[in-house]
């Protein structure tokens, strides 16, 4: 069993981190990132930190999630369930949630500091630079093509699609025309209908699209056609944790693991291992948190080709911030996390 800080005090700080510019997906335009930062302080040893996005946009929902966990924003609390807490016990102590992710990542950070090692050693992995894919939010075809110009040397390029304006085919065509050296990943965020998906597949094949992420609402997964040729369907909203895999296998060829969905790095590592044993490709992604959220996700992503961990969305990042150099995400400084 992993060691823990004993009975511990937890502090949650809830804040909105402004984005440099609006970011649009199929269901919403974001202007900031609503984040919760958890600090764990044990009755011995150091403190650890973790970050999550407790709700995609709704602060009332985020505050309710925090309250359901027995915590109060800005208040140092020793909850009853924290007695004897460890990373492994946390999976049974709290239900899966984004907030559990922040607590779990804080425990990883605490343990790495307490042992005087990096979190990569705790995970029996090696931290190395990762190839990352830039993401284009939904815009006009012309604006997305212009944005793609700045990323045309990237190995992978991710396009948000799924807007019900009938322009997705034009968006894909426009970006593909200027990003000929990049592999394309389309992310519909469940914004397509089964008929739309079927109609888009010939275009995707012609333009060499490699991955289509969550084309349909999870409730419509049974209506997904087989993917043509080398195209992979990637499950995002359809894959939450290890319990999701039976519904994913046979319909998707890839899963996108996000720490907020799995409820922490501990569950995410177990999900990756099980998914790979099932023959599924694995992608690691996140929304628009700070470097404190990217750091543990970058550990999960070690050795993968599909890594959606972009920086630069925020007006102001954590310090020391993580860095991307020539589309390579560099390992975090120990002072940041892990």
Q: Averaged over 221-231, what is the pLDDT?
A: 94
> What average pLDDT does this structure show over 200-228?
96
Structure tokens at 175: 């970006």
Confidence of residue 6 (pLDDT cuts 50, 70, 90): low
What share of the chain in percent tops pLDDT 70?
98
| Beta carbons within 8 Å of 53's beta carbon, 6+ residues apart | 33, 34, 35, 36, 98, 260, 287, 288, 289, 293
- Go through 240-270 and write b for each residue having 16 or more CB atoms within 10 A of its CB, e for each that does not: bbbebbeebeebbbbbbbbbbbbbbbbbbbe
In the chain, what are the domains? 9-116 (3.30.390.10), 130-329 (3.20.20.120)
- The C-alpha torsion from 236 through 259 and 19 to 180, rounded to 10°, is -50
Q: How far is residue 13's CA from residue 74's CA, in Å, rounded to a whole number?
A: 5
For 149-163, how does the pLDDT look when each residue is reduced to its tens digit (9 = 90+)? Answer: 999 889 999 999 999
Q: What pLDDT digit, counting tens, does each position of 300-331 carry?
A: 999 999 999 989 889 999 999 999 998 899 99
Output the pLDDT for position 1: 45
Residue 230: the pLDDT is 92
User: What does each C-alpha distance from 108 to 16, 152, 159, 302, 334 come to in angstroms?
Assistant: 24, 36, 33, 16, 12
Higher-pLDDT residue of 274 and 28 is: 274
pLDDT at 2: 55
Asked whether the bond before 317 is cis by omega within 30 degrees of 0, the reply is: no
The model's pLDDT over 237-279, given as tens digits with 9 standing for 90+, comes to 999 999 999 999 999 999 999 999 999 999 999 999 999 999 9
Closest CA to 291 of 33, 67, 46: 33
pLDDT value of position 123: 97
284: which 2 tokens? 């690691």
For residues 107-129, give the mean pLDDT. 97
Strand order in the sheet with 324-325: 130-131, 328-329, 324-325
| Strands lying side by side in the sheet with 183-187 | 135-136, 156-160, 183-187, 209-213, 232-235, 254-257, 281-285, 306-308
| Rg of the Cα atoms in the chain | 20
**Mean pLDDT in residue range 204-221:** 96
Q: Residue 102's pLDDT is what?
A: 98
For the segment 122-148, what is each residue's pLDDT rounded down to a tens digit?
A: 999 999 999 999 999 999 999 999 999
Overall residue count recorded for the chain in this entry = 338
Give the pLDDT score at 4: 67
Q: Would you say residue 24 has pLDDT above 90?
A: no
Q: What is the pLDDT of residues 63-108, one digit of tens each?
A: 999 999 999 999 999 999 998 899 999 999 999 999 999 999 999 9
Examine the pLDDT at 56 and tell me if it is beyond 80: no
Run of H or E including 13: strand 9-24
- Whether the CB-CB separation of 104 and 85 falls below 8 Å is answered with no
Whether the full predicted model's pTM is greater than 0.85, yes or no, is yes
Residue 197 tokens read as 């998906």
Does the pLDDT of residue 44 top 90, yes or no?
no
Mean residue pLDDT across the chain = 94
Give the pLDDT score at 282.
98
Give the pLDDT band (50/70/90) at residue 3: low
């Amino acid at each position: 069993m992993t060691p823990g800080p004993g009975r511990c005090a937890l502090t949650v700080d809830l804040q909105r981190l402004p984005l440099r510019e609006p970011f649009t997906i199929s269901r919403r335009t974001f202007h900031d990132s609503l984040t919760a930062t958890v600090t764990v302080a044990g009755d011995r040893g150091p403190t650890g930190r973790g970050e999550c996005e407790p709700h995609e946009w709704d602060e009332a929902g985020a505050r309710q999630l925090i309250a359901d966990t027995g915590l109060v924003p800005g208040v140092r609390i020793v909850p009853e369930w924290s007695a004897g807490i460890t990373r492994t016990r946390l999976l049974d102590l709290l239900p899966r949630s984004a907030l559990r992710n922040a607590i779990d990542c804080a425990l990883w950070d605490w343990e790495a500091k307490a042992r005087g090692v990096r979190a990569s050693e705790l995970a029996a992995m090696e931290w190395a630079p990762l190839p990352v894919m830039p993401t284009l939010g939904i815009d006009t075809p012309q604006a997305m093509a212009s944005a793609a110009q700045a990323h045309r040397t990237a190995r992978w390029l991710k396009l948000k699609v799924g807007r019900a304006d009938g322009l997705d085919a034009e968006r894909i065509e426009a970006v593909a025309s200027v990003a000929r050296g990049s592999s394309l990943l389309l992310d519909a965020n469940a914004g397509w209908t089964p008929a739309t998906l079927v109609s888009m597949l010939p275009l995707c094949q012609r333009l060499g699209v490699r991955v289509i992420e969550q084309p349909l609402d999870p409730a419509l997964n049974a209506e997904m056609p087989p993917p043509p040729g080398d195209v992979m369907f990637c499950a995002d909203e359809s894959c939450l944790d290890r319990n999701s895999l039976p519904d994913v296998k046979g319909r998707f060829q890839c899963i996108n693991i996000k720490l907020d969905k799995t409820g922490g790095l501990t569950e995410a590592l177990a999900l990756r291992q099980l998914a790979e044993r099932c023959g599924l490709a694995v992608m690691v992604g996140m929304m628009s948190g700070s470097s404190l959220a990217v750091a543990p996700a970058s550990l999960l992503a070690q050795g993968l080709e599909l890594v959606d961990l972009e920086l630069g969305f925020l007006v102001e990042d954590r310090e020391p911030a993580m860095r991307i150099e020539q589309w390579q995400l560099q390992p975090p400084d120990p002072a940041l996390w892990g």
